[in-house]
Amino acid sequence: MLHVSGTQLVTDDDTPVRLRGVGLGGWLNMENFITGYPANESSMRYAVRGVLGEERAELFFDRLLTSFFTEEDAALLAGLGMNCVRIPINYRHWESDDRPFEIDQRGFRHLDRVIGLLGEHGVYSVIDLHALPGAQNQHWHSDNPTHVAGLWQHRHFQDRAVHLWEVIADHYRDHPWVAGYNPVNEPGDLTGKVIGPFYDRLVKAVRAADPRHILFLDGNTYSTDFSIFREVYENTVFVLHDYALAGFAHGGPYPGYTRGEWCDRSELERTFAKRSRFQRETGTPLWVGEFGPVYSGDPAVDTQRYQILRDQLAIYDGQGVGWSLWTYKDVGLQGLVHASGPHLRRFGGFIAKKQRLGADRWGSTMEESADVLAPLHALIETEFPAWRPYPWGARYQSDDLIRHILIAQALLPEYAELFRGLGDDELTALADSFLLDRCVRREPLLDLLADNLGGATERSRIRRIR
């Protein structure tokens, strides 16, 4: 079992371990750009249940969770040289909003399975609560259908989050391949006044249930602001996220300018130094919980995106920093591998429509439907020049409200209708499109990671087998 010793993570015999791996996004916390649906997970599931009915919707979603990660996936990641997988989860697998505080133990079924598979391959898991009751941030990835982070406004939601973590910590308290708990992914407390006391309370509760596992705590404002911590807790990693501006879907050339800001290797280093200042000042371990570029499908652009990743990995390696790349598997935007077959044949046209409209925040260039939306953005800039909404300002907020909520939610019925008339075998085939042996592998990315992690020999062996 790992624990913190100064600036390092070590095993019980004090062997240093630098956790390097990938996030399992889109699995126990589904995201629109990862599996191809619009809006947020609970809204999507509601729409699909309306077409398939409860039992057949459960058949599809359970099969998807089973196929999305199997022993073959664990073997691939271990073969690359990874020793950690950060596993995002959604509270709704354990608790329903209409039955608060009633824990459904079935929520552990798939999580236990995957943690076990990874442990068999010598890979640690970090359990990341990516969606908390009431939503801890303003975006889709906390399963938030609005732009309001209700967790920080209602004590009831905070009570439920603490209770859930007591249950999770008790369940895994003796598991040696659980590296630790990441209790709140990318919190967005608008006031910055609630999160500090909440963390104090949460840490105390988790420690009472499990005194040994590491806590991985994100800073406020999407893991960028660590001023909210009122003390440096023992056996704790303060997690930063380090996305490069030029690596977003709306990123410009690299090196070059993105929305008026210059980005090159030196700027990546300066940005990382700024983002990691708290950890250096407190002498705590450096671990990047999320980072990684988005790929466009344009070879010239993607060559630059791979260079961003190489530069970031070189910066981390030079400073002994651990990391978790976002993300492992999807439908083609960012993953190491991506689904194909029946899933893309069924939903490919719909995914293209989402891209044309910029409906997914993570895949949008911010310029889609410019003939319609540019005048609105200009109106907002002219009429409300002092408007600076949290967390990222007016231009991003406008897109969030118009594209990523209004347009995305308007797309939900169309997505759900694509399930109509499908038989059980067809639903199973859709879910099984995410089995590793049916996925397309992003070979340049896999080779880049294998070279960095020392898994190049294993990559060669896997290629010979295939």
Looking at residue 388, the DSSP 8-state letter turns out to be -
Pick from 421, 379, 394, 333: which is nearest to 31 by CA? 333
Residue 402's SS3 state is helix
Cβ neighbours around 154 below 10 Å, total: 12
Residue 403's SS3 state is helix
Catalytic residues: 186, 290
Q: What is the largest CA-CA distance in the chain?
A: 63
Three-state SS letters, 49-86: HHHHCHHHHHHHHHHHHHHHCCHHHHHHHHHHCCCEEE
Write the CA distances from 461 to 47, 80, 371, 443, integer angstroms.
Answer: 44, 11, 51, 14
Q: Return the amino acid letter for 393.
A: G
∠57-63-64 over CA atoms, to 5°?
Answer: 90
Decide the pairing of beta strands 3-5 and 8-10: antiparallel
- Angular region, 31: left φ>0, alpha ψ -120 to 50, beta rest: beta
Looking at residue 240, the DSSP 8-state letter turns out to be E
DSSP 176-225: TTEEEEE-SSS---SSSSSHHHHHHHHHHHHHHH-SSSEEEEEPHHHHTB
Cβ neighbours around 379 below 10 Å, total: 11
Q: Return the amino acid letter for 18.
A: R
**φ and ψ of 281, to 5 deg:** -70, -30
Pick from 218, 194, 188, 255: which is nearest to 400 by CA? 188
Looking at residue 255, the DSSP 8-state letter turns out to be S
